[in-house]
Amino acid sequence: MKEKIIALAKSNCADIVGFASADQFDKNDPVFKIFPNVKTVIGLGFRVLRGIYRGTEEGTTYYQYTTMAVENMEETIMPMTALKVCNLIEENGYIAVPQRRHQQIMREENSTNPEVAYDAVYRGKAAENQMNFVDAAVKCGLGEKGLSGALLTDEFGPFVRCCFVLTDMELEADEEKSPHLCDKCGKCIKACPGRAISEEGEVDPWQCAVYYNGANGTKNPFMPPDAFSDFENRLEIISGEARVTPETARKILDNIFFYPPAQHAYQCSICGRACDTACYIHLEEKGVLTKKFKTPFRTRDEWKFSIEDFK
């Protein structure tokens, strides 16, 4: 049955499939609240196309990442694959509970998800039983957690997204991978245009939201020279030096309308997940990724506008 599940998932867009026993999860883990009789957690990993990052790398098109690597994957491709796996399991008389990340709910009361509009997020009780997706992916053997908190896989580095199926079918677990990709190089931290990741690898979600959405004008081809004209610290914001609070972040985000959002409250990523791209380039240069390409991802120096253009 395990082989059948892997074959079905892989013939329906999943790239990596891994299995964890429910015993690997803490007894207070949300998986037991979602499905008390869960025996196996199946992890489905999907590559984010390397070519989708091209538009940000070149500074040309940005919506391809948001629509094709976030919105369509999360809302269409990944749920479809999970449902097909669930149908196969239920055809065999077991229960299958699909688990995709709901981008608009979160446990923390005063946090946000950079990928969606901050005012479209439902906080608190609605999300208390949402799985920890990176933790579950590691338990399923899909990859390891990097310094920045991203899931790193042998095949695609951080260019991956995942969803899960909980089932009462007992299936052999895969081994968790011992961490071997992240060497704590810190390139993810340095690459962030808004200094949203601390030296310890903690991501400040509001700082990330502001710069994910493009507040750094030196990395945003669509920002007009007079952007944030009502802000006293506008040059700090535009250069990526500003430190935001949840309140100031909301104000800044209300003044970012340089690029159209996608559907389902998804915001356009102007940073293009520079943290993940820097990590990918680093792992590619080290030659540790198993999925090889004929040309390197970065072929010339990174572009950047001058802060002088906004003075």
Tell which one of 47, 139, 187, 219 touches ligand SF4 (CB under 6 A): 187
Of 140 and 209, the one with the shorter C-beta distance to ligand SF4 is 209
Cα distance between residue 66 and residue 63, in whole Å:
5
User: 218-256 b/e with 16+ CB inside 10 Å = b?
Assistant: bbbbebeeebbeebeebeebbbbebebeeebbbebbeeb
Cα distance between residue 115 and residue 266, in whole Å:
6
User: Is there binding between residue 134 and ligand SF4 (CB under 6 A)?
Assistant: no
Least Cβ distance, residue 307 to ligand SF4 (angstroms): 18
Contacts of 76 (CB under 8 A, 6+ apart): none
Least Cβ distance, residue 74 to ligand SF4 (angstroms): 15
The tokens for 193 are 């245009």
**Stretches 61-69, 89-97, 116-124, 205-213: which one binds ligand SF4 (CB under 6 A)?**
205-213
User: Is there binding between residue 78 and ligand SF4 (CB under 6 A)?
Assistant: no
3-class secondary structure per residue, 142-185: CCEECCCCCEEECCCECCEEEEEEEECCCCCCCCCCCCCCCCCC
Least Cβ distance, residue 135 to ligand SF4 (angstroms): 16
Q: DSSP letter at 196?
A: -
**Stretches 21-29, 43-51, 126-134, 203-211: which one binds ligand SF4 (CB under 6 A)?**
203-211
Cα distance between residue 112 and residue 106, in whole Å:
8
Tell which one of 18, 30, 45, 114 touches ligand SF4 (CB under 6 A): 114
Of 10 and 195, the one with the shorter C-beta distance to ligand SF4 is 195
Tell which one of 94, 167, 273, 284 touches ligand SF4 (CB under 6 A): 273
Least Cβ distance, residue 269 to ligand SF4 (angstroms): 7
User: Is there binding between residue 156 and ligand SF4 (CB under 6 A)?
Assistant: no
Least Cβ distance, residue 272 to ligand SF4 (angstroms): 7
Output 181-186 pairs: Cβ under 8 A, ≥24 positions apart. 181/143, 181/144, 181/146, 181/152, 181/154, 181/157, 181/283, 181/288, 182/144, 182/145, 182/146, 182/147, 182/152, 183/286, 184/147, 185/282, 186/147
User: Is there binding between residue 184 and ligand SF4 (CB under 6 A)?
Assistant: yes
User: Is there binding between residue 69 and ligand SF4 (CB under 6 A)?
Assistant: no
Least Cβ distance, residue 121 to ligand SF4 (angstroms): 16
What is the DSSP track for 277-295?
HHHHHHHHHHT--SS--SS
Tell which one of 266, 278, 284, 310 touches ligand SF4 (CB under 6 A): 278
Least Cβ distance, residue 306 to ligand SF4 (angstroms): 20
User: Is there binding between residue 259 and ligand SF4 (CB under 6 A)?
Assistant: no
Positions that interact with ligand SF4 (CB under 6 A): 114, 146-148, 182-188, 192, 194, 196-197, 203, 208, 211-212, 271, 273-275, 278-279, 282
